[in-house]
Amino acid sequence: MKIAIPVIDKNLNSSVDASFGRTNYFMFYDTSTKESVFVENSAKNNPGGAGIKAAQTIADNGANALIAVRLGQNAANVLQNAEIKIYKATDGSAKDNIDALIANNLSTLSDFHKGFHGRN
Amino acid sequence: MKIAVLSGKGGTGKTLVSVNLATVAKSSTYIDCDVEEPNGHLFFKPTILAEKDVSVKIPKLNPKLCTGCRRCVDFCKFNALAIINNKPIIFDEVCHSCGGCVLVCPEKAFSEIDKSIGKVQMGKSGNVDIYTGILNIGEATGIPIISNLLSNKQDTLDKPVIIDCPPGSSCIVMESIKDADYCVLVAEPTLFGVHNLNMVYELVTLFKKPFGVVLNKCLDGDNPAELFCIEKNIKILAHIPFDPELGKLNSEANIVVKHSDKYHNLFSSLLEKIITEVANEATTNS
């Protein structure tokens, strides 16, 4: 299984970025090889639709699951079309969250926000 | 004569100035281009005479023709398209109606359909013709509504047209002032106010529009916005005091000039000044 996580720094001990669409990097962790790959988030500075583009990056990199703090409805639509499971991140590092997912301790994320689009 | 009223931020007094300028004129047209939150109608309480829908073009995919080549997704700078399992997904509310995907698709898999984004209302209140643009919540841009509002052939020869602009200095403001003969910048007497004034000052300078400043909420003592105007040699058209009487009337959606001689005089003389400025400008440029 390939797990995607928005991270602030390019290492396993990074914290999970609260923003999905505007995170610095995505970490892709392969549970069979135990290898992690970091991909820069090309959507980071886009004025709009960052969540959609970021979700495209997740799908294009072949992830099966995403761990995120929160997620917008548009990004969720893309991920659901790609049949990528979405889990809610808990406190702790990216590594902690991966371990928690493998141990089946993460709940799925299903309440998506409408997107900020300049509003709060 | 088209007079645009703008400011770098909301709550500075654009609508106060616009509504009262329109009211002191013998007859006038008031156009509310603040389509995300039009509030001029709260003061005029116009009788609505006509209403029309404003729509934009958005792409519609014919999945039978799509080969999943992804060119549309790569082209869209607004990220309104994604592609999963070779099937594009269109996000209508993110689309800016540029038509790019339709053009770049080698299979001609896209057609364009109309999507309503809001409406334009025409009404009347006393001697003021009122046009209000209303953008539906969540839409990407109000520009199509503003261009629709301003494309109406309002009589500009014998009566002033007051354009109440959206706040800020972005595309929607540019669209609103594009054809204006004169710009009135409303400013608050704070350092933050100066920052916002500078934004619209740069905008009207860039657009080479004749302009002047109305200093609103004036208190005793130094006014940073006034100092800014003096420093930049910007014409100050009027000082509106920070006055509880004015605040109360305005907050109760009254048109101030109808209730106070003092303000009737202030706004009449402001309008006269602007008309003189526009006339001078016309002479200078002819």
Kindly report the average pLDDT of chain B as a whole number.
Answer: 95
Q: Quick check: B44 and B30 in contact, CB under 8 A?
A: yes
Determine whether the interchain pair A78/B89 forms a contact, defined as Cβ–Cβ distance below 8 Å. yes
Q: Does A64 touch chain B (CB under 8 A)?
A: no
Q: Quick check: B199 and B171 in contact, CB under 8 A?
A: no
Determine whether the interchain pair A56/B87 forms a contact, defined as Cβ–Cβ distance below 8 Å. no
Q: Does A48 touch chain B (CB under 8 A)?
A: yes
Whole-angstrom Cα Rg for chain B: 22
**Boundaries of every domain in chain B:** 2-54+118-285, 63-108
Average pLDDT over residues B196-202: 98
Q: Quick check: B31 and B18 in contact, CB under 8 A?
A: no
Asked if CATH classification 3.30.70.20 holds for the domain at B63-108, the reply, yes or no, is: yes
Question: Which residues have a Cβ under 8 Å from the Cβ of A43 and sit 6 or more positions away?
Answer: A21, A22, A49, A50, A51, A52, A53, A54, A57, B79
Which band of pLDDT confidence, cut at 50, 70 and 90, is reported for residue B156?
A: low
Measured between beta carbons, the chain A residues lying within 8 angstroms of B85 are 81-82
For A28, the token pair is 């892709």
Average pLDDT over residues A4-28: 96
Q: Quick check: A97 and A106 in contact, CB under 8 A?
A: yes
Looking at the complex, report in whole angstroms how far the Cα of residue A54 sits from the nearest Cα belonging to chain B. Answer: 10
Which residues of chain B have a Cβ shorter than 8 Å from any chain A Cβ?
73, 78-85, 87, 89, 91, 94, 138, 140
Task: Give residue A118's pLDDT.
Answer: 44
Task: Give residue B262's pLDDT.
Answer: 97
Q: How far is CA A18 from CA A68, A69, A96, A103, in A?
A: 7, 5, 15, 22
Measured distance CA(B148)–CA(B163) in Å, rounded: 13
Measured between beta carbons, the chain A residues lying within 8 angstroms of B78 are 48-49
Determine whether the interchain pair A74/B140 forms a contact, defined as Cβ–Cβ distance below 8 Å. no
Give the single-character DSSP code of B258.
Answer: G
Instruction: Output the CATH code of domain B2-54+118-285.
Output: 3.40.50.300
Average pLDDT over residues B11-21: 97
pLDDT in tens, B18-52: 999 999 999 999 999 999 999 999 999 999 999 99
Looking at the complex, report in whole angstroms how far the Cα of residue A4 sits from the nearest Cα belonging to chain B. Answer: 17
Task: Give residue B139's pLDDT.
Answer: 85
Average pLDDT over residues B199-220: 97
Determine whether the interchain pair A78/B138 forms a contact, defined as Cβ–Cβ distance below 8 Å. no
First to last CA, chain A: 35
The answer to whether residue A65 scores a pLDDT higher than 70 is: yes
Poorest-pLDDT segment among B30-39, B156-165, B183-192:
B156-165
Which band of pLDDT confidence, cut at 50, 70 and 90, is reported for residue B286?
A: low
Q: Please tell me whether residue B120 adopts helix, strand or coil conformation.
A: strand
Looking at the complex, report in whole angstroms how far the Cα of residue B52 sits from the nearest Cα belonging to chain A. Answer: 26
- Position with higher pLDDT, B264 vs A120: B264
The answer to whether residue A3 scores a pLDDT higher than 50 is: yes
pLDDT in tens, B265-279: 999 999 999 999 999
Which band of pLDDT confidence, cut at 50, 70 and 90, is reported for residue A117?
A: low
What residues are paired with B123 via a beta bridge? B48, B130
Q: Which residue, A36, A23, A49, is CA-closest to A95?
A: A36
Give the strand order in the sheet containing A35-40: A35-40, A25-30, A2-7, A65-68, A85-88
Looking at the complex, report in whole angstroms how far the Cα of residue A97 sits from the nearest Cα belonging to chain B. Answer: 26
The answer to whether residue A116 scores a pLDDT higher than 70 is: no
Q: What are the phi and psi torsion angles at B235 (to 5°)? A: -70, 130
pTM: predicted TM-score of the whole model, two decimal places: 0.77
Average pLDDT over residues B79-101: 94
Measured distance CA(B128)–CA(B46) in Å, rounded: 9
Q: How far is CA B60 from CA B84, B106, B120, in A?
A: 17, 15, 25
Task: Give residue B228's pLDDT.
Answer: 98
Q: Quick check: A27 and A42 in contact, CB under 8 A?
A: no
Task: Give residue A111's pLDDT.
Answer: 85
Q: What percent of chain B has pLDDT over 90?
A: 91
Which band of pLDDT confidence, cut at 50, 70 and 90, is reported for residue B72?
A: very high
Task: Give residue A61's pLDDT.
Answer: 97
Q: What is the ipTM of this complex?
A: 0.89
Average pLDDT over residues B185-213: 97
pLDDT in tens, B106-139: 999 999 999 999 999 999 999 999 999 999 998 8
Q: Please tell me whether residue B268 adopts helix, strand or coil conformation.
A: helix
For B211, the token pair is 């302009």
